[in-house]
Amino acid sequence: AQSVTQLDSQVPVFEEAPVELRCNYSSSVSVYLFWYVQYPNQGLQLLLKYLSGSTLVKGINGFEAEFNKSQTSFHLRKPSVHISDTAEYFCAVSESDMRFGAGTRLTVKP
Amino acid sequence: DAGVIQSPRHEVTEMGQEVTLRCKPISGHNSLFWYRQTMMRGLELLIYFNNNVPIDDSGMPEDRFSAKMPNASFSTLKIQPSEPRDSAVYFCASSLVNNEQFFGPGTRLTVL
């Protein structure tokens, strides 16, 4: 069965700095990969997804992620963060069902 | 489309009472998922349905929890009897198989 590891539970960063949120997965078959964002008191929203094709995936709000099959990683990046990016970010992998990582809390400070 | 609809948004009940959470998936989606989110345990998959049929309920914590999907447009998650440790935010999500899941706003359950 597939599993997801998010290596950082919390990432503090200053506004306008770059950020990378790390995600590694394990699976025995080809998978679909996702990043979701959860703002306080809200449900999860899709940021971006990798189904096939180009390994660099661009999502909403200036985020992008790169699928690396050899390293079984799908790290999320943004070159310059805003205060409004403060949220919980979840990586997920889908085979027959979807499994979520434990989440990374991104805090953007002024 | 209104997205995934969950009701109620907030529920406060006393220990021992029955609680029923409701979900209306996005029209045309054939998979439905129930999750529980707490600070201690994060986001946990409780059960999911494909074409109204329960596929995996291994995440359902105990026999006090039950879920049904009588038709493609409605699902319930019931807790009977409820306990304080059931306090959490419960999310419903729907999808087309193996594609992105669309989440509802959640039901915040507090069991006193």
Amino acid at B10: H
Return the pLDDT at B99: 72
User: Over its length of 112 residues, how does chain B's per-residue pLDDT go in tens digits?
Assistant: 689 999 999 999 999 999 999 999 999 999 999 999 998 888 999 999 999 999 989 889 889 999 999 999 999 999 999 999 999 999 999 998 667 899 999 999 999 9
Return the pLDDT at B97: 67
Interface test with A, best of B29, B94, B103 (most A CBs within 10 A): B103
**CA torsion angle A75 A76 A78 A84 (round to 10):** -150
Interface of B with A in 55-84 (CB under 8 A): 55-56
Closest by Cβ to A44, choosing from B98, B99, B103? B103
Return the pLDDT at B1: 65
Tell me how close the Cα of B32 comes to any Cα of chain A, in angstroms: 10
Residues in A whose CB is inside 8 Å of some CB of B read 32, 34, 36, 42-46, 49, 51, 90, 94-100, 102-103
Any CB–CB contact under 8 A between B93 and chain A?
A: yes
Q: A26 with A42: CB under 8 angstroms?
A: no
Closest by Cβ to A43, choosing from B55, B100, B103? B103
Return the pLDDT at A95: 76
Return the pLDDT at B86: 96
Closest by Cβ to B98, choosing from A36, A46, A94? A94
Amino acid at B60: M
User: Over its length of 110 residues, how does chain A's per-residue pLDDT go in tens digits?
Assistant: 678 999 999 999 999 999 999 999 987 777 889 999 999 888 999 999 998 888 999 999 999 999 998 999 999 999 999 999 999 999 999 877 788 999 999 999 99
Residues of chain B neighbouring A45 (CB-CB closer than 8 A): 103
Spell out where A17-61 has E strands.
19-21, 23-26, 32-38, 44-50, 56-58
Q: B68 with B49: CB under 8 angstroms?
A: no
CA A83, A84, A88, A90 dihedral sign is negative
Interface test with B, best of A9, A98, A99 (most B CBs within 10 A): A98
The residue of chain A nearest to residue B104, with distances taken between CA atoms, is A43
CA A95, CA A100: separation in Å to the nearest integer? 12
Return the pLDDT at B41: 87
